Amino acid sequence: MKLPSEFLLAGAAILAAAAASQSAFSAAPAAPFALSSTTFKDGTMMPRKVANVSNPATPNPNCVGENVSPQLSWSGTPDGTKSFALTMVDPEGRGGLGVFHWVAYGIPANVTSFAEGEVSKQTDKYVGGKSTQGVGFYSGPCTPPGSPHHYTFKIIATDLDPKELPPGLTLPEFEAKLNGHAKGAAGLVGLFVRPN
């Protein structure tokens, strides 16, 4: 039996309305995992205060700052996250071999930011790894004159318990332990060069 066209049109309208209603009530997609800073914007120059302080015992004319760690915050935590890790790497440092300025892990999942200057020293909010400079806290740039270096900050969400890893891991050692435990990552790049 053939249905009249008005019934077919009415049925199509009902299906379209149902689809629109379903779409309106669907959960919004989760916000992407993101890292940001109020100290500098992604891809811009960082202020002089974030650069490292020259050590009087071994003076370095490229260390022109106060070693004030930048403010960092992250959002859009991936499901299953138990802890975070933060790293800061200068890929152009040491003639392109790279400098690991900060390796921190075991950051509890309920911590989603660090205030400016907060990680210029060890705190109980993270487990300190071992930077190229041999310390477990933020170590700012000592960039030579010339082209700016790209300081890459990376937040990594992990399913590792905050107390699972021992302190003092270098970046390669930490990355080896992280294998299979990363839930997501986000990055932020700050530029720095020694002012003339």
What digits encode the pLDDT tens for the residues 124-161?
Answer: 999 999 999 999 999 999 999 999 999 999 999 999 99
For residue 114, which phi and psi values (nearest 5 degrees)? -130, 130
Specify the residue for token string 């530029």.
191
Give the span between the Cα atoms of 193 and 189, in whole angstroms: 13
Structure tokens given for 111: 């911590």
Burial 75-94 (b: 16+ CB within 10 A, else e): eebbeebbbbbbbbbbebbe
Q: Render pLDDT for 19-46 as a digit per residue (tens, 0 to 9).
A: 444 444 445 567 899 999 999 999 999 9
In one-letter notation, the amino acid at residue 89 is V
Query: Is the pLDDT reported for residue 8 higher than 60?
Result: no
Give the span between the Cα atoms of 74 and 186, in whole angstroms: 8
Give the span between the Cα atoms of 172 and 100, in whole angstroms: 10
| CA 130 to chain centroid | 18
User: Which parts of 54-170 fold into alpha helices (H)?
Assistant: 93-96
> Quick check: helix, strand or coil at residue 176?
helix
% of the chain residues with pLDDT over 90: 77
Spatial contact of 115 and 192, defined as CB atoms under 8 Å apart: no
* 44-45 and 182-192 strand pairing: parallel
Spatial contact of 148 and 191, defined as CB atoms under 8 Å apart: yes
Spatial contact of 81 and 159, defined as CB atoms under 8 Å apart: yes
Q: Render pLDDT for 40-75 as a digit per residue (tens, 0 to 9).
A: 999 999 999 999 998 888 889 999 999 999 999 999
Rounded mean pLDDT of the chain? Answer: 88
DSSP annotation of 117: T
pLDDT of amino acid 187: 97
> Quick check: helix, strand or coil at residue 9?
helix
For residue 194, name the pLDDT band (cuts at 50, 70, 90). Answer: very high
For residue 196, name the pLDDT band (cuts at 50, 70, 90). Answer: confident
Total-model pTM? 0.83
Give the span between the Cα atoms of 85 and 36, in whole angstroms: 15
